[in-house]
Amino acid sequence: MKETSNHGEIVTLYKNEIKTESFRKDEKDGLCIFEYVYFSRPDSNIDGMNVHKFRELAGKYLAEQAPVEADFVAGVPDSGLDAALGYSKYSKIPYDLAFVKNKYIGRTFIQSTQTKRRNQVALKLNPIPSTVKDKRIILVDDSIVRGTTITRIIKVLRRAGAKEIHLRVASPAFLGICYFGTDVTDKNGLIATKKSVEEIRQEIGADSLEYLSLENLRKIAEGSNMKGFCEGCFTSKYPIEVPDEIHKDKFEKIF
Ligand code: SF4
């Protein structure tokens, strides 16, 4: 029996017979690319591509795109850790932990929205002063949506004595809302729709800031077997039709 199935395939086992049927209408895929960037666990394999590997490659490309001198590379737990490792391996700058996660503050996943979960993650991070004090740090996070969480994290690191904080983001700037189930439904709340990279850097308090380019994100995604992705968060272009402008506006207001 084959070990993998195709999208839209129904496999029926009946007595000694195995029947497969496909109800797909076309060969186009539209997987949410954020599954690789943030949602999925690093040990997941999605369509031939391991999530940890994907994020590690994002870190490698970031190191290539935006090299900077620093004492160590650290990731924002948990989804920034793999890309931080990739940055460190490629740049040969040591990898270290800037934070420990406080396990005794609430359980993050119980929070109802992604935003609340992220904010609570920031509350749960305790810096390690002996590692951070007087150090130039390359801090890697998976994405910046509203900018509030990373601002808080950078402040925490500064208070712990960090000398420089160079933020590297393992995905492109977040420019579009999501119509497919995530809680990113208000374009006005997206920091990158209103500010330039330099303005964002100033607002969040980093010494430098660089996002993974869309071109490099696509290069990494080519390693999977998918025949297409939704990258609406970064391009405002979606794999299927979304409500027209009038309805889009209503959608944004309702949510
Ligand atoms: S817009 Fe597309 S890429 Fe962004 S979260 Fe929604 S489904 Fe994923």
Domain boundaries, the chain: 28-254
Instruction: Give me the mean pLDDT over the 179-185 stretch.
Output: 79
Kindly state the percentage of the chain with pLDDT values over 70. 83
CB-count exposure of residue 184 (10 Å: 0-12, 13-18, 19+):
buried
* pLDDT band (50, 70, 90) for residue 153: very high
For ligand 1, pick from 182, 187, 242, 251 the residue to mutate: most ligand atoms within 8 Å of CB: 182
Confidence of residue 249 (pLDDT cuts 50, 70, 90): low
Report the C-alpha gap between 44 and 94 in whole angstroms.
26
- Residue 111's pLDDT is what? 55
31 lines ligand 1 (CB under 6 A): no
Distance 60 CA to ligand 1 centre (A): 23
Report whether pLDDT(112) > 80.
no
Read off the pLDDT of residues 21-72 as tens digits, 9 standing for 90 and up. Answer: 877 766 678 899 999 999 999 999 998 899 999 999 999 999 999 999 999 9
Query: For residue 4, what pLDDT is reported?
Result: 56
Read off the amino acid at residue 98. Answer: A
User: Which residues have CB under 8 Å from 111's CB, separation 6+?
Assistant: 117, 120
Do β-strands 17-22 and 9-14 pair in parallel, antiparallel, or remain unpaired?
A: antiparallel
User: What's the pLDDT at 203?
Assistant: 97
Percent of the chain's residues with pLDDT above 90: 60
The response to whether residue 145 sits with its C-beta less than 6 Å from ligand 1 reads: no
Tell which wins on pLDDT, 247 or 77.
77
Contact 62, 170 (CB under 8 A): yes
CATH of 28-254, one of 3.30.2290.10, 3.30.1330.60, 3.40.50.2020, 3.40.50.150: 3.40.50.2020
pLDDT in tens, 75-91: 999 889 999 999 999 99
